[in-house]
């Protein structure tokens, strides 16, 4: 690992921990993504994490807060854009029809997309709006 990669790994660890401490499992390889998508039954929230400010101030807090809803996804996973590049690229393969954006969130059922929130619906929005977007989808699909 070169010094830049080491630095980015160190700087991004708290950003990873913010989701894993809330119950999300990290998928760090394409193989882990494939295994998850093909085996996870029921509803899943996928968060494409990133180091940008809207991930820190909006996406991660919204994802965590949305889990206080009575209905919520059965599985919680995350990939980290810019860090786990191959895993993120593989997850994006499964999000066919949606432009790659980070951060972003997808609600899946048995690997099929039910609801997608791109960066455009995260950046410049309030946490409460994003939580409402997520919980509305949970109430409909979970």
List, by residue number, the catalytic residues: 52, 54
Is 81:88 a contact under the CB 8 Å cutoff?
yes
Integer Rg of the chain from CA: 14
Tokens 């609801």 sit on residue: 115
* Residue 8: Cβ within 10 Å count: 16
């Amino acid at each position: 690992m070169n010094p830049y990669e080491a630095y980015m790994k160190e700087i991004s660890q708290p950003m990873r921990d913010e989701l894993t401490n809330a119950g999300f499992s990290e998928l760090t390889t394409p193989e882990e993504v494939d295994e998850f998508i093909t085996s996870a039954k029921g509803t899943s929230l996928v968060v494409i994490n990133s180091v940008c400010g809207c991930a820190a101030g909006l996406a991660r807090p919204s994802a965590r807060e949305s889990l206080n809803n009575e209905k919520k996804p059965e599985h919680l996973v995350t990939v980290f854009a810019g860090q786990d590049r191959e895993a993120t690229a593989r997850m994006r393969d499964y999000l066919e029809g949606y432009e790659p954006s980070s951060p972003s969130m997808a609600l899946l059922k048995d690997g099929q997309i039910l609801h997608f929130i791109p960066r455009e619906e995260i950046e410049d929005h309030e946490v409460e709006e994003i939580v409402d977007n997520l919980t509305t989808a949970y109430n409909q699909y979970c």
